[in-house]
């Protein structure tokens, strides 16, 4: 009898702990809003999001984050252009072509890429890549959108690659064999059968990869140049949302309007990644047959 009671207690105990993640998420949202919403006393939502000028310490201050949002979006898209093909192609290579021996070496390399600390990548972008692209493209500054995107692509590739690979790997062999039986080459099978069958997993991978890129802080803080302007070319410096928060939070007095504005930027950033994750979650839930993406 007593054992059953303990068992019940343990069961509910585990449930409570399992709820911790969602509770933590909830409190993160609550704190973002508690600290971020007061900025609306100083600026309307429209002016905050679409305002072109970010002069948070002027008197009177301007809290327009449009150029920061645009900076984030541009950097993320550009890094996506580099990371998506590379990531998916590597995944296809690993799952379909690579001999097992080679795959056993390449996979840990991808994992090591994923574990490379972001500050080291940002440092590399700042110290090695910036002077390099400054010379090669003969541009005034090496700390710019292109540099940051390149570094972000490096960070997004492992996410895209490993989740895509899972998806491709879990395509049933029967499909593949059927395609071979019809006389298709291996490559034709990959393009016409395997990729369509794993498309939802690949989409999830791409979205999560981009989500990682848009939320990444140190790289854009160190390599993007930090100018709060609407970029005119890929060699213009930008100031993405996370860079603004990280650079200015130390100097914004607690409870001041600047402090609230930075938390409000946090809300915007959170909404971006939350949307990405919801879409990814929806796709992987809706089209589950290819195996759930594991994080």
Partner 1 sequence: MNKFIKLIFVLIISTLIASSQSFAGKLVIKGSTTVLPIAQKAAEAYMAENPDVKISLSGGGSGNGIKAIIDGTADIGNASRFIKQKEVDLANAKGVYPVPFRIALDAIVPVVNNKNDVADFTMAQLKDIYLGKIKDWKEIGGTPGKIVVISRDSSSGTFGVWKDLVMKKERVIPSALTVPSNGGIVQAVAKTPGAIGYVGLGYLNSEIKAVKVEGIKGSDENTLNGSFPISRGLFMFTKGWPKGETMGFISFILSKKGQELVKDAGSIPLF
Partner 2 sequence: MIKQRLIIQKLWFLLLRIAALLNGAALAVIVYFILSRGWRAISWEFLTKAPKDSMTAGGILPCIVGTIALCLVTILVALPIGVASAVYLNEYAAQGKLVRLIRLGINNLAGVPSIVFGLFGLAFFCIVLKMGVSIAAGGLTLGIMTLPVIIGASEEALKSVPNTYREASLAIGATKWQTIRKVVLPVAFPGIITGSILGISRAAGETAPIMYTGAVFFTPELPASILDEVMALPYHIYVLATAGTQIEATRHLQYGTALVLIMLVFGMNLSAIILRAKMRKKLRI
96-115 residues near partner 2, rule: CB under 8 A: 97-98, 104, 106, 108-113, 115
Residue 7 binds what, of partner 1, partner 2, none (CB under 5 to 8 Å, by partner type)? partner 2
Q: Which of residues 65-94 bind partner 2 (CB under 8 A)?
A: 85-86, 89-90, 92-94
Q: Give the burial string for 245-255 (b: 16+ CB within 10 Å, else e).
A: beebeeebeee
Q: Is 7 in the site for partner 1 (CB under 8 A)?
A: no
With binding defined as CB under 8 A, does residue 54 bind partner 1?
Answer: yes
For 42, half-sphere exposure in the C-beta direction (CA atoms, 13 angstrom radius) is: 20
Rule CB under 8 A: say whether 134 interacts with partner 1.
yes
Q: Choose between 120 and 178: whose C-beta lies nearer to partner 2.
A: 120
Return the residues of window 59-78 that contact partner 1 according to CB under 8 A.
67
Among 237, 251, 258, residue whose Cα is nearest residue 62: 258
Which position among 31, 50, 55, 137 is part of the footprint of partner 2 (CB under 8 A)? 31
What is the H or E stretch that residue 54 is in?
Answer: strand 54-55
Q: Which of residues 228-257 bind partner 1 (CB under 8 A)?
A: 228-229, 236-237, 239, 247-248, 250-254, 256
Tokens 């979006």 correspond to what residue? 73
Binding mask 236-275 for partner 2 (x = CB under 8 A): ------x--xx--xx---x-------xx--x--xx--xx-
Smallest gap, in angstroms, from Cβ of residue 249 to partner 1?
9
> How far is the first Cα of the chain from the last one, in angstroms, to the nearest whole number?
40
What are the structure tokens assigned to 227, written together? 């100018």
**CA separation for the pair 155, 146 (Å, rounded):** 14
Give the C-alpha separation, 162 to 132, whole Å: 30
Q: How many residues does the chain have?
A: 295
> Cα(162)–Cα(178) distance, rounded to whole angstroms?
26
Backbone angles phi, psi at 291, to 5 degrees: 90, 135
* Angle separating helix axes 199-215 and 257-286, nearest 10 degrees: 170
Q: Which does 53 bind (CB under 5 to 8 A by kind): partner 1, partner 2, none?
A: partner 1
Q: Which one of 29-37, 56-64, 195-203, 228-236 is the stretch in contact with partner 2 (CB under 8 A)?
A: 29-37
> Of partner 2, partner 1, none, which one sits near residue 141, judging by CB under 5 to 8 A according to partner kind?
partner 1
Output the CA–CA distances (angstroms, integers) from residue 251 to 111, 131, 156, in the order listed.
Answer: 36, 29, 30
Tell me the per-residue interface mask from 147 to 176 with partner 1, x by CB under 8 A, - otherwise. ------------------------------
279 in contact with partner 2 (CB under 8 A): no
- d(C-alpha 278, C-alpha 208), whole Å: 10
Q: Give yes or no for residue 197 binding partner 1 (CB under 8 A).
A: no
37 near partner 2, rule: CB under 8 A: no
Contacts to partner 1 by CB under 8 A:
17, 52-58, 67, 130-131, 134, 140-143, 225-229, 236-237, 239, 247-248, 250-254, 256, 258
């Amino acid at each position: 009898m007593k054992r059953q009671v303990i068992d019940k207690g343990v069961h509910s105990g585990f449930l409570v702990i399992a709820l911790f993640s969602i509770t933590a998420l909830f409190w993160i949202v609550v704190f973002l809003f508690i600290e971020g919403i007061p900025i609306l006393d100083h600026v309307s939502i429209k002016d905050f999001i679409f305002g072109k000028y970010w002069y948070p310490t002027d008197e009177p201050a301007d809290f327009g984050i449009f150029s920061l949002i645009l900076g984030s979006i541009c950097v993320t898209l550009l890094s996506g252009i580099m990371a998506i093909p590379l990531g998916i192609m590597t995944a296809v290579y690993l799952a379909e072509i690579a001999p097992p021996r080679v795959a056993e070496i390449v996979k840990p390399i991808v994992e090591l890429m994923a574990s490379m600390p972001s500050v080291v990548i940002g440092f590399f972008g700042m110290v090695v890549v910036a002077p390099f692209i400054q010379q090669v493209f003969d541009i005034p500054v090496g700390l710019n959108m292109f540099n940051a995107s390149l570094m972000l692509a490096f960070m997004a590739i492992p996410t895209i690659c490993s989740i895509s690979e899972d998806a491709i790997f879990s395509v049933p062999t029967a499909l593949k064999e059927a395609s071979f039986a019809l006389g298709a080459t291996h490559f034709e099978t990959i393009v016409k059968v395997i990729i369509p069958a794993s498309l939802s997993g690949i989409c999830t991978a791409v979205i999560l990869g981009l989500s990682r890129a848009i939320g990444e802080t140190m790289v854009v803080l160190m390599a993007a140049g930090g100018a709060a302007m609407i970029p005119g070319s890929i060699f213009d410096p930008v100031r993405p949302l996370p860079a603004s928060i990280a650079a200015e939070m130390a100097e914004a007095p607690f409870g001041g309007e600047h402090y609230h504005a930075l938390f409000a930027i946090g809300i915007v950033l959170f909404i971006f990644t939350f949307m990405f994750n919801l879409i990814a979650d929806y796709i992987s839930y809706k089209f589950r047959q290819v195996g759930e993406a594991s994080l």
